[in-house]
Chain A
Amino acid sequence: MIQFWIILGYLGLLLLLGLFASRLFRGTSSDYMVASHSIGPFLLLMSVFGTTMTAFALVGSTGEAFKEGIGVYGMLASSSGIIHSLCFFLLGVKLWGFGKRYGYKTQIQFFRDRLDSDRIGLLLFPILVGLVIPYLLIGVISSGVVMQTMTAGAFPNLFPTDNIATSGGLPTQWGSLLICLVVLCYVFFGGMRGTAWANAFQTLVFMVLGIATFGVIANKLGGQESLWENLRVLGEAIPENRATRADMSKTKFLTYLLVPLSVGMFPHLFQHWLTAKSAKSFKLPVVAHPIFIMIVWVPCVLIGVWATTELVPARPPLPANPNAILPFLVKTQAGTLLGGFLAVGILAAIMSSLDSQFLCLGTMFTKDIVGHYFQRDASDANQIRLARGFIIAVVTLTYLLGLLKPPSVFALGVWCFSGFSSLFPLVFAALYWKRLTKWGAYGAVLATVATWGYFFSDAIGQAIKVGNPGPIRTYTLKLNLGGEAYEIMPVAAIFLASLIAMVAASLLTRPPKPETLKKFFAD
Chain B
Amino acid sequence: MPRSLLAIVLVLLVLHQDNWFWTDDTLVFGFMPMGLFYQACISVAASFAWFYAVKKCWPSAHDSEAGAGGES
Q: Which residues of A contact B62 (CB under 8 A)?
A: 93-94, 96-97, 278-279
A151 within 8 A of B: no
The answer to whether residues A244 and B33 also contact, given A78-B42, A257-B16 and a CB cut-off of 8 A, is yes
Bound complex: CA of A160 vs CA of B22, how far in Å? 47
Query: Closest approach, in angstroms, between the C-beta of A245 and any C-beta of chain B?
Result: 5
A159 within 8 A of B: no
Closest residue of chain A to B24 (Cβ to Cβ) is A244
Bound complex: CA of A298 vs CA of B19, how far in Å? 20
Closest residue of chain B to A37 (Cβ to Cβ) is B67
Q: Which positions 97-156 of chain A face chain B at CB distance < 8 Å?
A: 97, 100-101
Q: Which positions 207-239 of chain A face chain B at CB distance < 8 Å?
A: 231-232, 234-236, 238
Q: Which residues of A contact B17 (CB under 8 A)?
A: 250, 253-254
Q: Which residues of B contact A73 (CB under 8 A)?
A: 35-36, 39-40
Query: Closest approach, in angstroms, between the C-beta of B60 and any C-beta of chain A?
Result: 8
Bound complex: CA of A205 vs CA of B42, how far in Å? 25
A329 within 8 A of B: no
- The answer to whether B47 touches A77, judged by C-beta atoms less than 8 angstroms apart, is no
B27 within 8 A of A: yes
- The answer to whether B54 touches A286, judged by C-beta atoms less than 8 angstroms apart, is yes
Interface of A, helix, strand, loop or mixed by DSSP: helix
Classify chain A: how many residues form its interface, as a range. 35 or more
Please count how many residues in chain B sit with their CB below 8 Å of the partner chain's CB atoms: 45
Bound complex: CA of A276 vs CA of B65, how far in Å? 11
Q: Which positions 69-93 of chain A face chain B at CB distance < 8 Å?
A: 70-71, 73-74, 77-79, 81-82, 85-86, 89-90, 93
B43 within 8 A of A: yes
- The answer to whether A36 touches B46, judged by C-beta atoms less than 8 angstroms apart, is no
Question: Interface 1/0s, chain B 18-38, versus A by CB < 8 A?
Answer: 110011110100111111100
Question: Interface 1/0s, chain A 27-43, versus B by CB < 8 A?
Answer: 00000000011111111
- The answer to whether B16 touches A235, judged by C-beta atoms less than 8 angstroms apart, is no
Most buried by A among B30, B47, B50: B50
The answer to whether residues A40 and B70 also contact, given A78-B42, A235-B33 and a CB cut-off of 8 A, is yes
Q: Which residues of B contact A171 (CB under 8 A)?
A: none
Question: Interface 1/0s, chain A 284-298, versus B by CB < 8 A?
Answer: 001111110110001
Bound complex: CA of A414 vs CA of B55, how far in Å? 34
Q: Select one of A38, A96, A248, A293 contacting B71, CB under 8 A.
A: A38
Query: Closest approach, in angstroms, between the C-beta of A330 and any C-beta of chain B?
Result: 21
The answer to whether residues A290 and B32 also contact, given A39-B71, A82-B12, A86-B9 and a CB cut-off of 8 A, is no
Bound complex: CA of A411 vs CA of B63, how far in Å? 42
Q: Which positions 244-267 of chain A face chain B at CB distance < 8 Å?
A: 244-246, 248, 250, 253-254, 257
Q: Select one of A38, A250, A288 contacting B68, CB under 8 A.
A: A38
- The answer to whether A81 touches B47, judged by C-beta atoms less than 8 angstroms apart, is yes
Bound complex: CA of A394 vs CA of B47, how far in Å? 37
Bound complex: CA of A320 vs CA of B27, how far in Å? 28
Can you name 21 A-B residue pairings with CB atoms under 8 Å?
Answer: A36-B68, A38-B68, A39-B67, A74-B42, A81-B46, A97-B61, A193-B71, A231-B31, A243-B27, A243-B33, A244-B24, A245-B35, A250-B17, A278-B67, A279-B63, A280-B63, A289-B47, A290-B44, A291-B43, A291-B47, A294-B44
Question: What is the interface of chain A, defined by CB distance below 8 A to chain B?
Answer: 36-43, 70-71, 73-74, 77-79, 81-82, 85-86, 89-90, 93-94, 96-97, 100-101, 193, 231-232, 234-236, 238, 240, 243-246, 248, 250, 253-254, 257, 276-280, 283, 286-291, 293-294, 298, 301-302, 305, 523
Question: What is the interface of chain B, defined by CB distance below 8 A to chain A?
Answer: 1, 9, 12-13, 16-19, 22-25, 27, 30-36, 39-40, 42-44, 46-47, 49-51, 53-54, 58-59, 61-63, 65-72
* Among all A-B residue pairs, the 8 with the closest Cβ atoms: A40-B72, A37-B67, A235-B31, A279-B62, A231-B31, A38-B69, A290-B46, A294-B43
